[in-house]
Structure formats: C-alpha cells, structure tokens
Structure 1
Amino acid sequence: MPTDYIPFRETNYFSNFICDYLDQNPELKDFYHHFPNLENFEAQIEEKRQSGHVSESHRKILVNTLKSQYKNLETSDLTAEHIELLNSENTFTITTGHQLNLFTGPLYFLYKIISTINLTEQLKEIYPKNNFVPIYWMASEDHDFEEINYFNFKGKKIQWNSEQTGAVGHFNTEGLADVFDVISSEFGAGKNAEQLKTWFKEAYLNHDDLADATRYLANELFGEYGLVILDADDKELKRLFIPQMKNELLEKVAFETVSETNKNLEALGLKIQVNPREINLFYIKDGLRERIVEIDGNYQVLESDMSWSEDELLQHLDEFPERFSPNVIMRPLYQEVILPNLCYIGGGGELIYWLQLKSNFETQNVTFPMLLLRNSALVKSKKQAEKQEILNISDKDLFLDRHSFINKKVRKISNIDIDFSEQIEHLESQFKHLFELAEQTDKSFYGAVKAQEVKQIKGLKHLEKRLLKAQKRKLADQIERSTELQEQLFPNQSLQERTINFSELYLEYGADLIPELKNALTPLKGEFLILNLK
C-alpha cells in the first residue's frame, strides 16, 4: 500500500486561509484556542474537565439518550463500551459532523469518520488514563434537502425526489424503493455489489426515517471501530441547552459577538462563510423548520401564524425544547455544551465558520474546541498507478488545472523544446540596454521602446502557443491518455473525494477498503495523502 503526501497548499484545492491556519499564521491566533497537536491535548483535556458543563447528571442523560437511539441496532462491543464510558469524568469525545447524505454522499464522509476514530486511538496511547470516544454528529435538523438527496456513481447522479419539508432527519423513506431499483442495476452483480445493495436496502427500505437509516448505515460501516452516532434532535439533550437558548432569544449575544469577529476576519481578506441572525434558532414542528424572529416585542415563526410574548415563549421553550433548533451559528455551541468534547474534525469550509465563533463561546463561558482539518486523500488503483508511471506523470502534476497539465505534458514529451522563456528573458535583457540608450539620448523615445518590447514579447508568446497547439495535435494520443487518467482521478476537474461515492471504490476493493483507508489516514499529519491501493 504505497503512500505519498503533498502539502495542502501545493494541491491548489485548499484556500490560502485554511493553509495559513495549518501553518499557524500569527494573524489567526485570536480566532482559535489550542492548535491541534498532541502536546496541546493535555491542556484541552484539563480545561474541559474543569469547565463544569458536562456534569455527572449531564453525562447520564447523554448516555441514556444514546442507549435509546441504539436500542434497535446491532451494536458492536466496542461501541457499547464507548457509550458506557461516557458516564466517566475521564472520558472525552472527538467529534465530526456530517449531513444525512443519501448513501453517505461524497467519499470524504469516510475520511471524516476515519480521521475521528484514528485520533481517539492515538490519544489513548498518549494519555492512557483518559478515554476517548469517536462521535459522528448527524446533522438531522438541516433542512436543505437538495444538498443531500443524491450521490454520484460513475458520472451519474443517483437522486431521491421527495416533496417533504422541514428537518431532513424526520423525512420518511418513501420513494427510496425506486432509488434501490436504480442502484441495483448500476451496481451490477458480484459479492461486493450485493453487499452494497444489502446496505442500501436495509438502511433505506427497512427504516422509517432518514435519521434512523443513516444511523444504521454508519453503524454498519464503522461500528466495529467503536464509532458512536449521535442524533442531537432530542428533547432531553436540548433541555440541557435551554440556558444558552434563552440567552440567545433574549440577549442576542451571538449576533453581536460573531458580527464583530466577522469584521476582523474580513479585514484579513477572508470571505465569510456564515452571517449571524439576530436570533439564531429555528422552530421545528410537523414538517416546518423556520426562523424565529422578534418583531415589536413579540416572537414569531416565519411562514406560520405562531407567535408568543416573551414570557409565553420562555414557557414554551421549557415545555418543548425539542421544537427549538440551533442554526449553523448555534449548532457548534450546542455540541460543546452537551458533549465532553475536545476537538472538532471538519473540512476547510467548516473550519472557517468555526473560526468565526470563538468570541461567542467565550461570552457564553463554554470551552472552545480544537479544530482539526480532516484527512484528504487521492486513491489510485494499481492499474491507474501503473498507467501514471508509464505516462511519466508526477503526483504533483496530477493536481494541475487541465490547461497547465496538458501544456506541461506537451513540453515534457515533445522532442522540440517549446519553451520560449529563455528567449523572452534574452529579449528583455536587450531592451534593458535600449531603455538605457533612450535615457541617455532622448527620453521621449522611452515610450516607443516600451511599446516595441511589449509587441515583440507578445509575438513570441503567441508563436509559443501556436507551436504548442501544433505539438498537441502531433502528440494527441499521449495527451488523450494522460488527460483521461487525470479525469479518472479528478472527476470534472474536482477532487475525487468531493465527487465520487464510496460505492465506486467498494465495488473494487470490498471489505478491504475501510481497513486500508484506516491504516493510511493519519489525522495529525497535516498533508494531503496519495494512496495506491492494490
């Protein structure tokens, strides 16, 4: 299982902002707490232990909720042990979150969870007196169905159509039998295909709602590694969050603190991911998930006739906390209040919006977690790796945009040196002398000399492009095979992990896929993995 690594910055697929975070740029220090390296976990553990948010009774509610959610699942011994360990004050969590994408959605779903599992195992080795539990937080309260109702398989979009509205975790699985018919045909025959069909059928045809279906599937994939799957759309868990929700409704703290942080981040050139509302809570009930707003002292739910006075709203919150749903600004706070969590693992976009939130955590007196960029990987088959070697393409070249990739390949395989940079440099040197001559004789000629320099350099570049184009035609076969390989590994010129579904790899590697990925992904490595699977 040969592996290689490339710095995230050199892939050109990650923002400068995230790369600056990974480099621990001093300008960003105010926006996060402890940077995620092994030695910093000791301080994070102690701070979380002393914070007082996750008390003994608090842990008991968490454990009872998890046991209730797992009651109809075949639970591995390790997952059952992890749930029980959450009762102990020496047990902490590492958490990742993800939407309820159909059949897990993009491949990086696996990388998120494996990163989380592997980090807990690494921490146990370093801090053996403590226990570490990997948590997958299901985003069951999201309402953007269009983002999650499909997955890509070999260039085709496998989609579930439904007219349901509200929190997606509540969606019934009606209509997914039709999707099963489609994937049965697409997956074909064979042992690995049959396993994929079984997982899909058991998850989506034998469970009533999307939350239960996703829990089943994630448990099937990762239960043996002790993953604990949490659906925080729960009355008793939200009861633990009532103080923060009251604060949000009455004081609008998040709006003020996050808005100020956003200004500071924008001053550093960051494009803001999320903007706070005055009230960052939704109301959930019977297919409805709409914002709560305050208008002239009354609290209303948009697109409905529900409204309350302040006292009525607070009473309603105490009676029905499950109907109040944190938005993207408040969800991280909810997570850190109900979990003994040390670190959140997410993608680049997620980490950017977490960096917007530290000031709100500080105002609410909640410990801000460490933020770790999830593992990223490019998986190559043995056949693809062999083809890459034959075509003499470096791993770094694969990450080039298509135009640069082709041009570099043409130059590399051509027996004619179509690189006029030396000639252009020589021309610029000649014109430097002409500029000096113009300065000494008649400065009015300076503009004419400059125009001539621009014209001649432009002519050379144009000629270089024409010769490259001619060579592309001559070398069309090799260029086609090279771009075909790049397209296989970077579908639609995007990272493989953001495009394909795990099923494509599972068809080829079967039960070896997840163990191989688990062995290769190192969460604190801080570089992009290139993995050749046999």
Structure 2
Amino acid sequence: MPTDCITYQNSGYFSTLMTDYLDQKSNLKPLFNKFPTLENFENQILEKKISFNHNTRKNLVSVLQKQYLNIKSSTLTTENIQSLALSNTYTVTTGHQLNLFTGPLYFLYKIISTINLTNELKVKYPNYNFVPIYWMATEDHDFEEINYFNFKGKKFKWNLETSGPVGRLTTKGLEDFLKIYALELGNSTNAQELKAMFEEAYVKHSNLADATRYLANSLFGSYGLVIIDADNRDLKREFIPHIKEELLHQISYKLVLETAQKLNDYTVQVNPREINLFYIEDNLRERIIFEDGKYKVNNTIIEFSVTDIVKVVEETPEKFSPNVIMRPLYQEVILPNLCYIGGGGEIAYWLELKSFFDVSKIVFPILLLRNSVLLVSEKRSKKADKLDLSWRDLFSKQDDLVNNKTKLLSEFSISLEDLKIQLQNQFETLYTVASHTEKSFIGAVKAQESKQIKGLDNLEKRLLKAQKRKLKDILDRIVDLQNELFPNLSLQERQANFSEFYLENGENLIPAILHKLNPLENKFEVIKF
C-alpha cells in the first residue's frame, strides 16, 4: 500500500481560500477568532463561559430531553444532554442537511471529526465536559439537494412534490423506495442490517427530521452524539432579540457585504440579502422582504406592518427561519459552543461572518475543516502497489497522471526539451548575424525559430500519443483504478453512500474510521479495509 501523505493543501481538491486559511495567511486572520489548535481552546472556553447565559442551558436541556422522548439513547448521550445544564460543559458542533440515508460519505466524517475532537479536548482539559452535537438542517427547503444518494454508481432518488422545511416532510411512500433499494443490496447479513436500518428510520417514522435523528442516533449514539432540531419554538425564543434586530436594522447585510468585498481575490461562498430570514409554515419557507414600508413574504400575499411583525416575532418566533447568514448566529446563541466543524464551503461562508458576530456580541467559534477520507479495499491497495502508484499519483488530475506515467514507463525520454535548447542556441548565432544587417531579417529569424520550436512541440505531442498507444494496457489499468477510487473524477466522499462500504464491512466500518481520524491534522486520511 502506498505510504505517502497527502495534505489538504496538496490534494488539489480544496479552494485557494481554504488552503490559505489552513496556512493562516495574514490577510485572513481578521476573519476568524482563533485557529484550531488544542491550546487555543483554553481561551475559547473562557470567552464562552463569560458570555453564555445559564438560563439558555436550562432551556436547551429541556428541549433536547423532549426531542429524545421516543429515541432509545445511549447512557453516554443521556449523560451528555444532562451535562449541558452545567456551567463547565461546552459543545463541538457540526451540521448537515437531511440527506436521504445520510447522502454522501462525508456525513460520517463530519460527525466522527466532532466526536474525536470532544474526546481530545476532554484529555487536554479534564475539568470540563465536551459534548458532540449534530445540528440537523431541518429548516432547509431545497429538497432536490437531499432526495437521493448514490450506491455503487447508481442514483437512488426519492420522487416527491414538496415545499416548505424538509424536516417536516412526510416519509410516506419510502417503503416503496426501500423495495427497489433492497434489490441492489442482496441478502447478506450486512445487507439485512442496512434494510432494517432504512426501514426503522424512514418507514417507521412519520417525518424526515425524526427519521434522520433515529438514523444518526443508530450510527453514533454509542459515542455520545447529541442531535438537535432547532426548528423549535422554545429555542427560537432565545433568538428573538436577534430576529428583531435583523428585521428592523438589517445589520448583517452591510457587515457581511463588506467582508465579502474583502474576499474579492477568492470565490465568495454566499452573498447576504437585505433581510436574512425566511418565514416558515409546514408547506412554506419564503424570504422576507421589506417594500413600501411593509414586510412581505415573497411569492405570497402575506404582509405585515412594522408593529405587526414585531408582535408576530414575540408571539410566534418559530415562524422565522434563519438563512445561511443568520443560522450560524442562531446556533451560537442557543449552544455553549466552542467550535464548528464543516466542509470547505461551510468554513468559507463562516469566514464572512466575523464582523457580524462582533457587532451582535456573540463569541465567534473556532472553525475546523472536517476530516477527509479515502476508503480503499485490500484489493485496490494491492493494485496500486502492483502499478507502482503513490497516493500523490492517484490524487492528481487524470490527464496529468496518464502523461506522467507514460513518460515514466517509456524506455526513452519523451521530452524533446534538450533539442529545443540546442535549437535555441543555434538561433542565438543567427540573431547575432541578424543584428548586423537590416531589421527585417531579425523578424524572419524570429518567425523561423517559432516555427521550428512549434514543430518540435507537435512532434513531442505525437511521440507522447504514440507511447500511450504502446502502453495502453497498463495505462488503462491505472485509469480504471483511479476511476474506482475517485468516481466521476471527484472525491469518493462526495459521491458514494456509507451503505456501499457497510455492505462489505458491517458494524466495523465506523469504529475503524473513528480510530484512524485526527481532527486537528490537515491530512487526507487513506483508510484500508
């Protein structure tokens, strides 16, 4: 098995903004509070301790206990929920959409990163308690982003006409989906476990939030994971002052826009709206806009005066849903949180929010890029060895991989660089001669040099192409292996579903990954099964 290490910065799969963040470039330092090192958590704890309202803890525990009434939670999860009432308990949080059957593999890596970091923090700071939190994105309304998963190259899609927050969606009809999926799984012991897991989650629970909570608890409850659904009246009451501030003064728009403009050398992840709140009901989640002195719910006839909307906020705060700009603030208001763990896109939009947090007087969390993983079977690992491929080779772009391997495997040098240098040296003599005659001759020399260099470039390309044909058998095997490990020339973790690997490894899958990952290492982990 190849043994070389791939850092996130060298993997080729992370944006410039993310690699600069990991390298702690000076231009980005005003955009975050503290960089994720074990030592930096000490001051983060002290900051959060001073600012977090103890009454918020009581409300949080009460809400979580109600949400877990119909869930068989582990002793550790139950203890973690109870410990949130204590002033020395803090959280590490990750969030994810309610993707069908967890969606892509990185759902696992987010949560495992979160669990492992809480364990590391407990060792470093034994006088505190640390609770891993999975924040379910129950208020999202983009169903097309979550209604499918990929299994062994096939897309399994849940077809449903819907609107409104996805957490409230009915799971009715997913029993028919399971029948189709079950045919692909087969009848092995692990296949039976997957079928039972899907059925218990989606057929025996009436809405998507409850189904996802059950599934995440089944996979990670034994590690003390606490799952929260923030689409909740009592939790929203804690957020009322910030909802009012957003509606009446719209400070997030100006501050986040200013930060986004400072990031003009990068691809900006999100752009703020003038009001970064939605209005939600069971089958509705639409933007709130301010026009002609009134607050209007986009694409509806619902509208409010200033006085009326303030009253609605105070009486029914659950009708107001934060968007991508406001959701992080909501999270940090209701949780005693120290760190948010997310993917590159998530960390990118968090970096736009620091000034907004400062004005809102809410402590900005430490931002940690989640672990990234490549799962490799023993068979594929042996193939890589046999083909003399390093992980750096396999992570490279496919054209580069094929070209480099063609050059390496050839019995002679494909590069004509030495000939180009000789040719340029010869033309230097001609330029010397040309300098003693009329200027038009210099132009003729340049044109001839360009023509001959271009000719050598074309010959080099044809030589490379000829060698690729000659080495086709081994090059095809190299390409096939890369395609297996990087489906659709993308990261495995963004394409495949956990069930594909659970089918082979069963209940050993998650413990093996959890044992291997270190959340504070900026390293792409390759795990062999």
User: Structure 2 length as normaliser, TM-score?
Assistant: 0.97
Corresponding residue of 1:120: 118
Distance in 1 (CA, whole Å) between partners of 2:426 and 2:76 is 73
1:63–1:83 CA contact under 8 A, matched in 2: yes
- 1:159 maps to 157
Contact 2:174 2:203 in 1 (8 A): yes
Give the 3 Å change call, closer, same or farther, for CA 208–485 of structure 1 in structure 2.
same
Match of 1:388 in 2: 384
- Aligned position for 2:316: 320
- The residue number in structure 1 matching 2:98 is 100
- 2:181 maps to amino acid: I
Q: Gaps spanning 5+ residues in structure 2: where?
A: none
Q: Using the TM superposition, give the Cα deviation of residue 431 of structure 1 relative to its aligned residue in structure 2, in angstroms.
A: 3.5
Equivalence for 1:26: 26
Q: Is the 8 A contact 1:82 1:226 kept in 2?
A: yes
Cα distance in 1 for residues equivalent to 2:389 and 2:418? 24
- Is the Cα–Cα contact under 8 Å of residues 139 and 231 in structure 2 kept in the other structure? yes
Asked whether 1:178 is paired with 2:176, we answer yes
What SS does structure 2 have at the residue aligned with 1:213?
A: helix
Q: Aligned partners of 2:192 and 2:433: how far apart in 1? A: 79
Matched, 1:308 2:304: yes
- CA–CA distance in structure 2, aligned partners of residues 170 and 403 of structure 1: 46
The CA deviation at 1:138 is: 0.5
> Aligned pair in 2 of structure 1 residues 4, 59: CA closer, same or farther (>3 Å)?
farther
Moved over 4 A (4+): 1-4, 440-443
Q: Does 1:292 align with 2:288?
A: yes
Aligned match of 1:424 in 420, 423, 429? Answer: 420
SS of the equivalent of 1:39 reads coil
Q: Residue 38 of structure 1: SS of its match in structure 2?
A: coil
1:12 is displaced (CA, Å) by 1.0
**Post-superposition shift, 1:198?**
0.8
What are the Cα deviations for residues 306-335 of structure 1, in whole angstroms up to 9, with x where unaligned? 111111111111111111000000000000
- Structure 1 counterpart SS, 2:33: coil
Q: 2:503 aligns with which of 501, 507, 517?
A: 507
For 1:447 and 1:11, locate their aligned partners in 2 and report how far apart those are by CA, in whole Å: 45
Q: Counterparts of 1:51-450 in structure 2 under 5 Å?
A: 51=51, 54-266=52-264, 269-439=265-435, 441-450=437-446
Moved more, 275-284 or 461-470: 461-470
Give the CA deviation at 1:456: 1.8
String of CA shifts for 1:268-325, please: whole Å, max 9, x gaps.
x111111111111000013000011111211111121211111111111111111100
Amino acid at match of 2:417: S
Larger mean Cα displacement after TM superposition, 5-14 or 360-369: 5-14
Residue 208 of structure 1 aligns to a residue whose secondary structure is coil
SS at 1:134 equivalent = strand
Report the count of equivalent residues: 529
- Between the two proteins, what is the percent identity of the paired residues? 57
Structure 1 residue 257, shift from structure 2 partner: 0.5
Contact 2:376 2:527 in 1 (8 A): yes
2:466 paired with 1:470? yes
Specify whether residues 406 and 75 from structure 1 end up closer, same or farther in structure 2 by C-alpha distance, changes over 3 A only.
same
* Cα offset, 1:4, TM superposition: 5.1
Letter in 2 for 1:317: V
Pair 90,276 (structure 1): closer, same or farther in 2 beyond 3 Å: same
Q: Distance in 1 between matches of 2:72 and 2:435?
A: 85
1:111–1:376 Cα contact (<8 Å) kept: yes
**1:318 and 1:121, CA in 2 relative to 1: closer, same or farther beyond 3 A?**
same
Name the residue aligned to 2:42: 42
Change (3 A) 1:45 1:476: same
C-alpha distance in 2, partners of 1:436/1:530? 57
CA distance in 2 between counterparts of 1:226 and 1:308 reads: 44
Distance 1:431 1:20, change over 3 A: farther
Instruction: Compute the RMSD of aligned alpha carbons.
Output: 1.4
Letter in 2 for 1:19: T
Shift of 1:339: 0.5
1:519 to 1:428, Cα distance in 2 relative to 1, 3 A? farther
TM-score computed with the length of structure 1 as normaliser: 0.97
CA distance in 2, matches of 1:420, 1:365: 63
With 2-11 and 495-504 compared, the bigger mean Cα shift is at 2-11
Can you list the C-alpha shifts for 1:311-363, whole angstroms capped at 9, x where unaligned?
Answer: 11111111111110000000000000000111111111111110011111011
Q: Cα distance, 1:505 vs. partner?
A: 1.0
> How far is 1:424 from its partner?
2.8
1:461 aligns with 2:457: yes
Give distance in 1, aligned partners of 2:450 and 2:528. 47
Q: Is the 8 A contact 1:2 1:531 kept in 2?
A: no
- Give the secondary structure class of the aligned counterpart of 1:423: helix
- In structure 2, the CA distance between the partners of 1:214 and 1:425, relative to structure 1 (3 Å rule), is farther
Shift of 1:265: 1.1
